[in-house]
Chain A
Amino acid sequence: MKRIIVKLAAVAFAIASVSGVAIADAGDSPTLKRIAERGVVNIGHRETSIPFSYIGPENEPIGYSIDLCMKIVDAIKAELGMDDIEVKYTPVTGQTRIPLIANGTIDMECGSTTNNLTRQKQVEYLPTTFITGTKIASKKGSGITQIEDMNGKAIGLSSGTTNEKAIKAVIEEKGLDVKVVPVKDHSQGWLALETDRIDAYGSDDVLLFGLISKSKDPSQFQVTGRYLSFDPYALMVQRNDSTFERLGRVVMAGLMRSGEMKEIYAKWFEPGPTGINMPLSATLGTAFEVQALPD
């Protein structure tokens, strides 16, 4: 029976992936090795992390993080000496992104993921590409400016995010009576806010501005309150693959050194295709400079 299962899995595998022939030299990197063997790089993306990683008008993932990942894909092609590497996209959520990197389903995660020390037990991060933190979005006129105003009200939180933990911790610490409604992803959370299922949605402030910029009537919503957490974003790669990780770091440092990073930033944020309009902050500008390591 086991043999049959393995056979079926192999058949399924063959059907699902048209693989290339391994010719290139991947060195000691498991990630590069499997990319070379199959001629495919698997990228994990988000569906509504605007403007980092979301489904664009052409039904393909686009965004700031996706553009950065494409630079790394170029570097992978150069490293392996292969011109035709296919990019395959796998959608991930707050809940699936870390296990999918850990088990190798995706080679890179290009979304809006906070780099923290707990997660570094499971995955590895490239240099910081954005700095944000948890805030709450509500409808204007709701009288909500801080999490403390939400006694007796409902807040939506996306499962598996740092925001979920940060806001639950504040609620517990202050003994607030706030109902937490778990949602699958930002789209579901935003929908819940728009349809009055919840009074506020908690997420990274930049993502909240992104969701507002894409909503039917942006003037209806506000992002308020103090930062409830510190969230530096970075692209995720697999742990224990220092060769591949270094390749990513080389690309990112290069972009920061040449100033191309700021151009890509401007493309998505100043004001960006959805009109989010967030000029480069002094902190992030400094972070780019600090991380622009010399060759």
Chain B
Amino acid sequence: MNYNWDWGILFRDPYAGWILEGLWWTIVISLLAWVIAFTLGSILGVFRTTSSPILRAIGTCYVELFRNIPILVQLFLWYFVFPEILPDDWGRWVKRDMPAPAMTTAIVALGLYTASRVCEQVRSGIEAVGVGQRQAGRAIGMTEPQVYRHILLPNAYRIIIPPLTSEFLTIFKQSSLALTIGVVELTAMTRQIEEYTFQGFEAFTAATIVYSLVTFTVMFLMRFVDKRTALPGTFASGGA
């Protein structure tokens, strides 16, 4: 292989700082997008399991729409198309005046997309809790919102911690898509280091290690959380 490795580049100023800065933005994007995805996804998941046909239809339409268009295309729609179909003043605000336009757009796009996936996890969690619990709640005089608040959701979340963890990690990885609209997150930083130093593979290696480390750390922590919060009497609790 005809390539001159220079690992020192990763520890040299300013490139080490660039990698950390890129990681910081990757984490910011992932966490904020996750807030949107989790909140909206939970609401939609509830919609899809309620007794109201209208709410169920809204939930289904949302999921089908957002799940069947590639996330990159969705990102472009939000970034390039959405501001142009708004009234001029609003479009200008989206493009210029709102804080960090490109990054905010990326956060919203990722959040809305992942909400459709979280919705499906929440729905399957609620379904896994079972009809019996729902009926029992209603039988003791709880309203439907109360049943969700006190019985279905708390149990469902405890069941779906593993799939939700993997959805969060998906956001974390997909935040790299933000580079296509000019957000300089971790992957974009490695490209920038290559431009300045022509040592692309070292920078890629650094990013690879950082992504893996964060992923494995999150997985390790969540496995611990999952054990602590497992519902008694299920396989996850280990006492089947």
Contact = CB atoms under 8 A, between A and B. Distances in A.
A–B contact with Cβ pairs below 8 Å: the answer is yes
Interface of A: 95, 98-99, 102, 121-122, 154, 159-160, 181-184, 188, 191, 195-197
Given A121-B198, A196-B92, A197-B95, A191 B80 contact: yes
Contacts, number: 34
B95 A159 contact: no
B195 A95 contact: yes
B180 interface: yes
A195 B83 contact: yes
Contacts of B195: 95, 159-160
A158 B198 CA distance: 17
Contact of B84 (A181, A183, A195): A195
Nearest to A164: B195
A218 B188 CA distance: 33
A197 B96 contact: yes
Contacts of A102: 198
A102 B84 CA distance: 40
A99 B102 contact: no
B182 A183 contact: yes
Nearest to A240: B2
B182 A196 contact: no
Nearest to B182: A182
B18 to A, nearest CB: 13
Contacts of A184: 180, 182
A98 B83 CA distance: 34
Contact of A197 (B101, B180, B188): B101
B194 interface: yes
Given A95-B195, A99-B194, A181-B102, 8 more contacts: A98-B198, A121-B198, A159-B191, A181-B182, A182-B182, A195-B83, A195-B84, A196-B92
Nearest to B184: A182
Given A195-B83, A195-B95, A196-B92, A159 B192 contact: yes
Chain A CB within 10 Å, residue with most, of B102, B182, B195: B182
Contacts of A121: 198
B contact face: mostly helix, strand, loop, or mixed: helix
Contacts of B188: 182
B200 interface: yes
A122 B198 contact: yes
A98 B200 CA distance: 11
Contacts of B180: 184
A154 B198 CA distance: 28
B64 to A, nearest CB: 30
Contacts of A95: 191, 194-195
Q: Can you list the 3 inter-chain pairs with the closest CB atoms, starting with the nearest? A: A182-B182, A197-B95, A160-B195
A188 B80 CA distance: 10
A184 B191 CA distance: 12
A122 B182 CA distance: 26
Nearest to B80: A191
B45 to A, nearest CB: 35
A208 B197 CA distance: 27
B102 A196 contact: no
26 contacts: A95-B191, A95-B195, A98-B198, A99-B198, A99-B200, A102-B198, A121-B198, A122-B198, A154-B96, A159-B191, A159-B192, A159-B195, A160-B195, A181-B102, A181-B182, A182-B182, A182-B188, A183-B182, A184-B180, A184-B182, A188-B182, A196-B95, A196-B96, A197-B95, A197-B96, A197-B101
A95 B96 CA distance: 26
Chain B CB within 10 Å, residue with most, of A98, A121, A160, A182: A182
A291 to B, nearest CB: 27
A223 B80 CA distance: 24
Contacts of B198: 98-99, 102, 121-122
Nearest to A98: B198
Interface string B69-105: 0000000000010011000000010011000011000
A181 B103 CA distance: 11
Contacts of B102: 181
